[in-house]
Amino acid sequence: MEDILRKIEENTAPKDSFQITISNNKTYFITKFNPPLQLKKGKQYEMALLNLETYYSFPNIDATNNNFKYSPDGGSNWFTVTIPEGSYEIRDIDAAIKQHMKTNGHYDSQNDSQKYYMFLLPPTAAP
């Protein structure tokens, strides 16, 4: 019975803990601690990841989906817009396509110089 109580006491007693913060701007990195971490022999240790902060660095436009085609004349002629690989918001993709259209004169220049024939909307704004 005493062994069981001793184990319960060991398992519920406050544990020593410390925090290590590692920061890097690379995708893959190795950290060497100087001085090295000294762990006591005969003790059990646990490690946990408490927080991971990452930046929006995963491209949503790459070579598999960076070409957009449009026709300003009902399908007689088609034009391709190629957007460089990167991480884009929908409004950025919309702006790149519109810039291409403007460069090629594919917008309503007689009525309104900023009136385009197409718009990209985020899913929540779609009708």
Q: Mapping DSSP to helix (H, G, I), strand (E, B) and coil, where does residue 66 land?
A: coil
Label residues 23-36 b or e (16+ Cβ within 10 Å = b). Answer: eeeeeeeeeeeeee
The verdict on pTM exceeding 0.75 is no
pLDDT in tens, the chain (127 residues): 888 888 888 888 887 777 788 887 777 788 888 888 888 888 888 888 877 776 656 788 999 999 988 888 888 888 899 999 988 888 899 889 888 888 888 877 676 556 666 666 554 544 4
